[in-house]
Structure 1
Amino acid sequence: MLVRLTRRLLTMATAATLLGAALTLGSGPAAQAAVPDSIPLQLTNNSGRGDAVHVYVLGTSLTTGQQGWADASGAFHAWPAGGNPPVPAPDAAIPGPAAGQTKTIRIPKLSGRIYFSYGQKLDFRLATGGLVQPAVQNPGDPNRNILFNWSEYTLNDSGLWLNSTQVDMFSAPYAVGVQRADGTTVSTGRLKAGGYRAVLNGLRAQPGGWAGLVQTRSDGTVLRALSPAYGLETGALPAAVLDDYVNRVWQKYATTTLTVTPFGDRPDIRYYGRVSGGVMNFTNSSGAVVTSFQKPDAPSVFGCHRLLDAPNDQVRGPISRTLCAGFNRSTLLTNPNQPDTSAAGFYQDAVTNHYARLIHDRMADGKAYAFAFDDVGNHESLVHDGNPRQAYLTLDPFD
């Protein structure tokens, strides 16, 4: 879990660094207003649930590099030393708003997560390497029977990046937003009316093990739907769930060229993929092989890692991101020019990421982070502003 989420946050941080450099090269001090050390986060509870809400702001300080947590005032506290086995972390819970109420806290310059749980506090532990995040695909995880979710954010000198994420699971619904310097607001992550139940019911109705992604508590409360990557780990989805599609892709590009243009703002950079000897080799415009991929399995596709590893470079990583998006959205057979950015053609094959398909279909704006590189083509549920006045996190109804 941490690998995929950290990769996305690093992508945000890299973008922030580049943006900051561009602003520095702009028209002097007026080109960039200073981002304060913390900004307000307005929490609104429209869930309709009577449970107490507990909120956590956890992450890595971009000032000191330490891991820790923030209190309601935005003050950062470094975690104490962990142990082996992991030891209980200090109680970092902030009381959230009651149903129908709004509460404002402050979030500091961090790269991390904003957790919220209903009815019960989360159980965080500290290992020698730092914080142990919940891993609810493990039946023995102490948070397995708690209803919770989280958003991810990075706040630094170049602004705020705040998303809603379903990379690991689809759970308690919420939306995020930011108020810009001019007073306007943008938001994302909100489900259509009836969308929460529609996603869960859609998974239950989808043959092939997808119903097994839905986790419930012994009292019947639906807790979440695991991502297909974790569905493979738990055995809910068969290991061969994507084999048919992957085999057809490999067969097609043994005789056809797959053209990847990974940078939207640099259309002159293209790579050309062909399968030979069971391996997809990518060449540049000079014909030199720049990277190669073994035929990926389902864990590699759903997790966008392993055989589709995406290092933070300018060649293999961007190509791998594009392949990952094409496999999850099942566009590689219908379009030999990738990335395919038109959502109308996504998830049309019978063999596809049905979890991502259902989530995107039920989002009010069609945006989601249903797999790690759902930002390819700008289909991610992310808000950003270089000079944010305020952030928003709204707990939405479970309808």
Structure 2
Amino acid sequence: MGTRRAPAPRTAGRTCLALALAVSAGLAVGAPAQPAQAAVAATVPLTITNNSGRGEPVYIYNLGTLLSTGQQGWADANGAFHPWPGGANPPAPAPDAAITGPASGRATTIRIPKFSGRIYFSYGQKLVFKLATGGLVQPAVQNPSDPNRNILFNWSEYTLNDAGLWINSTQVDMFSAPYAVGVKAADGTTRSTGHLKPGGYQGFFNALKAQPGGWANLVQTRSDGTVLRALAPGHGIETGALPATAMNDYVNRVWSRYAGSTLTVTPFADQPNTKYYGRVAGNVMNFTNSAGAVVTSFQKPDSDSIFGCYKLLDAPNDLVRGPISRTLCAGYNRSTLLTNPNQPDSGSAGFYQDAVTNHYARKIHAQMADGSAYAFAFDDVGHHESLVHDGNPQQAYVTLDPLN
């Protein structure tokens, strides 16, 4: 999704889509079976409420892939789909897909179609989107020349299909302008997630700036002093802001531990008898099934593979390697692989306790009102993600929260 150097599974949006497709196909995903629901409407209203307290105009974008055809494009305020025209090399400006957002203290309702996509919002300026021959070029603010680098913006990711709506608040790429998401069910109940604790926005940046080891370098500030965002650590490695060796010490200790003992992975909560057993041999961790046959192997991962849950921790959408890799990725980012040889770890009390850990994710979760966040791609392992779902959504919500 977008122009990230990582393959699609690295993003939370792909996590939403993978879960949505799994539910649609009837695959086991570790959640209880849901009763049959009424048909999901072709479009669902989404209300954007601006509680930011900021005076700048807000611009909204609804961009993604139409699930019925696989076409990429954008949706207008009424939920009508518009395919992107052909791209160019170098990339050419995309059609202006901006929807005027609500002023502070006001709300605007748009409609979302059956998309796998993103709801972008920006303050003060419209975002710049371009079309390359391979599709839409989305913001990549780790690149100093990205035209959106000095714009305060963020996005939510969602999938709406015949099995319902999944919508999240995501920090997989960056932590920036705060917001929460919600969904209203047919019985009138509403579930929401993504709100920060009081003072949590500034609290996160203060904590990250105080973290030694290069973590403060993830923060990007505009020339007028506005703190715009903190890059996710994988992008920090990409730009040189964070050392590429950030997780090496922890990986070396994991490798030493499981050269002489076994790491047991039970990747499906609803299949407790499906277990895989990991042992290190040289530069490889081999996983065997209950019959002793090797089912997949992982090279010793580098920090970027860990933060991005890709490359040496690639997670294909299968029923063996992908689920094991997801579990390993969560264990490395949360630093639970040495304290618990049975993964995934079931509770959050032991997360991020090692001195070598994903401090970006640690500090985000610490500032969330409900503790839930999508601070790395597989933060949904164990259901610690900031995601809401309903099989028959009546209404969706995005609430723009204060930065102070």
Tell me the alpha carbon deviations over residues 249-297 of structure 1, each in whole angstroms, 9 at most, x when there is no partner.
0000011100000011101110000111221111110111111111110
- Mapped pair 1:329 → 2:334: yes
What TM-score, normalized by structure 1, do the two folds share?
0.96
- Which residue is 1:158 aligned to? 163
Instruction: Provide Cα deviations, 1:47-70, integer angstroms capped at 9, x if missing partner.
Output: 010010000000000122110001
How far 1:18 moved relative to its partner?
4.1
1:267 corresponds in structure 2 to 272
* C-alpha distance in structure 1 between counterparts of 2:269 and 2:254, whole Å: 24
Tell me, in whole angstroms, the C-alpha distance in 2 between the residues paired with 1:19 and 1:297.
32
Whether 2:18 is the aligned partner of 1:19: answer no
Select 1:384's aligned residue among 389, 400, 403: 389
Contact 1:304/1:310, CA 8 A, preserved across alignment: yes
Structure 1 gaps, min length 5? 24-29
Question: Does 1:39 find its partner at 2:11?
Answer: no
**In structure 2, how many angstroms separate the alpha carbons of the residues matched to 1:7 and 1:230?**
13
- Contact kept? 1:4, 1:372, Cα under 8 Å: no
Q: CA deviation at 1:13?
A: 3.3
Aligned to 2:94: 89
User: Shift of residue 21 of structure 1?
Assistant: 4.9
Match of 1:222 in 2: 227
Q: Secondary structure at the match of 2:259?
A: coil
- Does structure 2 retain, via aligned residues, the 8 Å contact 1:4–1:303? no
Q: 1:146 — aligned with what? A: 151
Q: 2:7 corresponds to which residue? A: 3
Aligned positions of 1:101-180 closer than 5 A: 101-180=106-185
The answer as to 2:193 corresponding to 1:188 is yes
In the TM superposition, what whole-angstrom CA distance separates every residue of 1:205-234 from its partner, at most 9, and x where no partner exists?
Answer: 000000000000111111100000001011
Structure 1 stretches of 4+ with a deviation exceeding 2 A read 1-23
Partner-residue secondary structure (3-state), 2:206: helix
**The residue matched to 1:394 in structure 2 has which SS?**
strand
Alignment match, 2:31? none
Aligned pair count reads 393
CA distance in 2, matches of 1:359, 1:11: 19
Alpha-carbon contact 2:151-2:228 (below 8 Å) kept: yes
Answer with 160-169 or 309-318: which moved more: 309-318
Shift, 1:103, TM fit: 1.0
SS at match of 1:131: strand
Displacement after TM superposition at 1:129 (Å): 1.0
TM-score (norm 2): 0.95
Amino acid paired to 2:385 = E
Deviation for aligned residue 1:22:
4.9
User: Compared with structure 1, are the counterparts of its residues 6 and 388 closer, same or farther at alpha carbon in structure 2 (3 Å cutoff)?
Assistant: farther
- Structure 2 partner of 1:211: 216
- The answer to whether the aligner puts 1:245 opposite 2:250 as a matched pair is yes
Equivalent AA in structure 2 for residue 179 of structure 1: K
- In structure 2, the gaps of 5 or more residues are 28-34
Find the counterpart in structure 2 of residue 71 from structure 1.
Answer: 76
- Asked whether 1:364 is paired with 2:369, we answer yes
What does the per-residue CA deviation read over 1:9-34, in whole Å, with 9 as the maximum and x for residues that have no partner?
444334334434559xxxxxx93201
Match of 2:62 in 1: 57
- Corresponding residue of 1:26: none
Residue 4 of structure 1 and its aligned partner are, at CA, apart by 4.3
Task: Tell me which amino acid in the other structure corresponds to 1:243.
Answer: N
Give the aligned residue type for 2:180. Answer: A
Query: Percent of counterpart pairs with the same letter?
Result: 75
